[in-house]
Structure 1
Amino acid sequence: MNPIASLLLLFLSFNALANTVGFTQFQLEDDPHRPLNLTLWYPTIDTSPAALVADNIAFQGTPVVKNAIVNQAQHPVVLLSHGYRGSWRNLNWLANDLVKKGYIVAAPDHPGTTTFDLSPHQAEQWWQRPRDLTRVLDFLLGDERWNRVIDANNISAVGHSLGGWSVAQLVGAKFDRDTFQKQCLLFPNPRTCGLATELGLQSSQMGEPTSNDFSDDRFKHVVILDLGLARSFSTESLDAIDKSVFILAAGIDIGDLPQALESGYLAEHIPLLNRRYKVFEQATHFSFMQLCKPGANQILEEERPGDGVVCKDGVGTDRNTLHDQIFTDITQFFNSAVTPAVSDN
């Protein structure tokens, strides 16, 4: 074999190993009143047999090497925030794909608003969600195992639904109760305004901080996937955002406020040079979540009537195709977001 062919083979072999997805889970206990279950995906060259995670009768899992050793290189970091009554599993597909591009990805389960933890007391502490993400980043940058393999100048966050609302606060969006109440009078909706009491948005909560500023300058850019409750943010705070924001919206309305009144509200008020805004016309709110298995719609409906909508996408498309485009758009945004991105619209 000639030297060039040998080098090419070595290069391809290395990349095959480098693209393996490591996976670990543990609990953050820095706050005894709010321990966080944390999931991490990361690049590894570990060749141990892979195992499926986040796989069940309805949803497709992804292959990972559990508790593998992380690649000793500088990696950009992405934090993920799940939606209301969701979990780390919802964006598992995105985490795996990002790792294959060299990212370290971390996702907390937000107490009180997860699939297996619907504590009313925790859920009404709305301010804790952005704080959870800051706590995770504090841990990663302070822990010897992780801080030496992290590029501290390349940190992002991605959030879906209520997770999108949460990550928006990391770059300066501020919840304003008066704004929220006025907007709910103008645009009442049981799936947004109807959650006000449950999420502690209707009235001041015990322990609620005096400041609604949860911005964290370490996050350089955020991606917001079809968020809800956008109209709870003050327009003044949105006008002042100076970080790069990518807003992705679902074009098919499933009973929430139309995306133009949610994602569009952000796009209207965040400065044009600091945001991009794209509507996936054939996506529903749940198209951003993990892939469904054949028959999942019926399984979910039988378990809880109405839940089958989680596996519905637009006619003439499929979730895998949507995911490919979403992933391409997100990674292109990350690659271009060192300087402010120009709006698509």
Structure 2
Amino acid sequence: MRFYNVLILLFLFPLVVCSQTSEALIGERTFHFTDTLRERKLSTEIWYPTHDTGKPSLKKDYPFMVDPTVRDGIYPSSKHPLILLSHGTGGSRMTQEWLADILVKNGFVVAAVDHWGNTYDHKNAIDFVTPWQRSLDISFVLTQLLKDNSLNKIIDSRRIGAAGFSIGGYTVLALAGAKLDLEALNKFSETPEGIQETNIPEFPDLLKSVDEAAVRVSFLKSPPLKDNRIKAFFAMSPAIGQGFISKEQFTSIDHPIYIIAAQSDSIAPVKTNAAHYHKLIPKSQLYIISGKTGHYVFLNEATPELKKTGAPIFNDDKSVDRHAVHELTGAVAVRFFKKTL
């Protein structure tokens, strides 16, 4: 994607460029919640506008290019809309920090959750193939945030949105009311196209490690996933689109949906995922970032040292400027949430 195209597109979103009305810094805190009923530890990162006098700093030995934050900075004196963030499979609550930075600079509070058993440093096969658990994670954490005597003073409970990447994109669509057809997804996973999509780099030979009976039991026991407290949903390269085969699976959706994807995504191809969701979800919006943008363009921008390792998830095609893609995506997200919340 050429940089001048990004500049043209940013021109189309003027509300974002000049929307920040104060010189607030970014405050950051870490919370550790536990859903005892499901035995899931849910570490959560919170970013928020702060006027703390402390000096912003970068995390020590942090491998990503993000904005400095004020650790445990004072909370703002007024309420702000909240955006809940769901990471991709095998990622972490920190992997879309670039988006959190942009949202906070535009007046939002952001909360990102580590999905138990589905992070880079804690992998359980069953937690990679029971994505409905992730939506329950988000709802549980939202409840904890709103119960917190300090956080409920800075969160406007009437203005809550959710954003997610990859399987996190599915997560937020499920929270909106999308109902997965597990049989349809299983059938797709047996096709050549499906085998390619389920062969994820984060967990090689995943399906060989899965107890299919346990997955089915988990699916059947899952309660409804729609969370009526969340009013707008932003999905980046959403995955497992082939678990949806009819518009009837989306009849419960009654809030705005925005889908953004990368044209050259080989992990969650646009045809079977983003475009497929858009076709089935009435009134959803779809934007496809053109060029040789791949799936992992929505992850944090790595430091030069990390890029030198050659890791595919941190290195894009030479024609792609990941930072520019983040600026564009962030602008679209801010405009969407400001309009809908």
TM-score normalised to structure 1 length? 0.83
- Are positions 1:112 and 2:117 aligned together? yes
SS in 1 for 2:134: helix
Matched, 1:278 2:287: yes
The one-letter amino acid paired with 2:314 is C
Q: 1:224 & 1:192 partners in 2: Cα distance?
A: 18
Q: Deviations over 1:191-250 (max 9, x none)?
A: 433467479695453544435630011111111000211111352212542211100011
- Find the partner of 2:22 among 15, 28, 50: 15
3-state secondary structure, aligned to 1:261: coil
Q: 1:24 aligns with which of 10, 21, 29?
A: 29
The 1-side partners of 2:209 and 2:53 are apart by 44
Contact 1:123-1:199 at 8 Å conserved across structures: no
Cα deviation for residue 22 of structure 1 reads 0.6
Question: Gaps (5+ residues) in structure 2?
Answer: 1-20, 201-205
| 1:97 paired to 2:102 | yes
Matched ranges for 1:243-282 at <5 A: 243-253=255-265, 255-271=266-282, 273=283, 275-282=284-291
CA–CA separation in structure 1 for the residues paired with 2:130 and 2:209: 7
How far apart are the structure 2 equivalents of 1:203 and 1:177?
12
Superposition pairs for residues 55-66 of structure 1, below 5 Å? 56=62, 58-66=63-71
Q: Which residue of 2 aligns with 1:220?
A: 231
Spell out, residue by residue over 1:158-209, the C-alpha distance to the aligned partner (whole angstroms, 9 max, x if none): 1001111111100011121111123334563334334674796954535444
Cα-to-partner distance string for 1:249-269 (whole Å, 9 max, x where unaligned): 11113x335212210110010
Q: Which has the higher contact order (CA 8 A, sep 6+)?
A: 2
1:79–1:105: 8 Å Cα contact kept in structure 2?
Answer: yes
The one of 325, 335, 340 equivalent to 1:337 is: 340
Change (3 A) 1:95 1:115: same
- Change in Cα spacing, 1:147 to 1:65, as seen in structure 2 (3 Å) is same
Seen in structure 2, the aligned counterparts of structure 1 residues 234 and 121 have a Cα distance that, compared at 3 Å, is same
Counterpart-to-counterpart distance in 2, 1:155 and 1:15: 22
Indicate yes or no: 2:182 matched with 1:173.
no
Conserved? CA contact 2:184–2:243, under 8 Å: yes
Residues 62-101 of structure 1: per-residue CA shift (max 9 Å, x gap): 3000111110111000000000110122111111111111
Change in Cα spacing, 1:336 to 1:199, as seen in structure 2 (3 Å) is farther
Match of 1:326 among 311, 324, 329: 329
The unaligned stretches of length 5 or more in structure 1 are: 1-13, 302-307, 339-345
Q: Percent identity?
A: 29
Normalised TM-score (structure 2): 0.84
* In structure 2, distance between residues paired with 1:152 and 1:198: 43
Contact 2:307/2:315 (<8 A) preserved: yes
**Which residue number corresponds to residue 6 of structure 1?**
none
- Which residue of structure 2 aligns with residue 39 of structure 1? 45
Q: Which of 159, 171, 174 is residue 154 of structure 1 equivalent to?
A: 159
For the 8 Å contact 1:156–1:221, the answer to whether it is kept is yes
Residue in 1 that maps onto 2:80 = 75
Shift in CA distance, 219/163, structure 1 to aligned 2, threshold 3 Å: same
**Structure 1: 4+ residue segments shifted above 4 A:** 198-204, 206-209
SS in 1 for 2:158: strand
Cα pair distance change 1:149/1:243, threshold 3 Å: same
Match of 1:294 in 2: 304
Residues 1:212 and 1:179: Cα distance change in structure 2 (over 3 Å): farther
Q: Please give the alpha-carbon distance, in whole angstroms, between the structure 1 residues aligned to 2:48 and 2:64.
A: 22
Q: Distance in 1 between matches of 2:272 and 2:174?
A: 18
Distance 1:207 1:288, change over 3 A: closer
Distance (whole Å) between structure 2 residues aligned to residue 198 and residue 134 of structure 1:
30
> Aligned partners of 1:291, 1:326: CA distance in 2, in Å?
13
Say which one has the larger Rg. Answer: 1
AA paired with 1:231? Q
How many angstroms does 1:114 deviate by?
0.3
Compute the displacement of 1:318 (Å): 0.7
Distance in 2 of aligned mates of 1:155 and 1:132: 16
Quick one: distance in 1 between partners of 2:74 and 2:162? 23
Give the secondary structure class of the aligned counterpart of 1:166: helix
Partners of 2:212 and 2:61 in 1: CA distance: 37
Q: Corresponding residue for 1:51?
A: 57
Q: Would you say how many aligned residue pairs link Structure 1 and Structure 2? A: 312
Structure 1 243/202 Cα, relative in aligned 2: closer, same or farther at 3 Å? farther
